[in-house]
Chains A and B, each alone.
Chain A
Amino acid sequence: MLKGKKVAILGDRDGVPGLAIEECVKTAGAEVVFSTTECFV
């Protein structure tokens, strides 16, 4: 599902941060093209 795909990550400071998601999706063969951690406060 993620292998070979470009991935844009919208992390959440109060949920799962962008960097944590990056580490995960890279293991599935995805290429991270954008990653941020939003703050809804």
Chain B
Amino acid sequence: MDLENQRRIKELAEKHGAENLVVVLGGAEAEAAGLAAETVTAGDPTYAGPLAGVQLGLGVYHIFELKDKVDEAVYEEQVSMMEMVLDVDAIIQEVSSIREQYSQFKD
């Protein structure tokens, strides 16, 4: 995950409180989405960025997992096309697995 984004997420968690901050991903591939999810929960697995060794434990979801939580028409307009071309099941499995393991704020 981009080092600048790591810095921003860390700042936001400190400012708003980790329990109030949720990260929503739009990654195209399961592996990349999983790495981003791991970075904001367990810390940067590459030990390169500001979140190295920092276990924020944030709630993290891929937008595909939130289909039932957002307005149906807006989701249809904004996201449904990518649902057809990406491996939705693999992405959801990867992100939810990381969340179950490392997130401290899941509901």
Q: Which residues of A contact B1 (CB under 8 A)?
A: 10, 38
Within 8 A of B (CB), among A1-41: 1-2, 5-12, 14-18, 20-21, 23-25, 27-28, 30, 33-34, 36-38, 40
Check B70 against A12 for contact (C-beta < 8 Å). Answer: no
A21 to chain B, nearest CB (A): 5
Number of B interface residues in the complex (CB < 8 A): 35
Check B9 against A34 for contact (C-beta < 8 Å). Answer: yes
Secondary structure of the A contact surface, majority rule: mixed
Which residue of A6, A11, A28, A37 contacts B16 across the interface (Cβ within 8 Å)? A6
Check B107 against A1 for contact (C-beta < 8 Å). Answer: yes
Within 8 A of A (CB), among B68-107: 69-71, 74-75, 77-79, 82, 86, 107
User: What are some 12 contacts across the A-B interface (CB < 8 A)?
Assistant: A8-B23, A9-B23, A10-B25, A20-B26, A21-B63, A27-B70, A28-B69, A28-B71, A34-B8, A36-B8, A38-B27, A40-B32
Residues of A whose CB lies within 8 Å of any CB of B are 1-2, 5-12, 14-18, 20-21, 23-25, 27-28, 30, 33-34, 36-38, 40
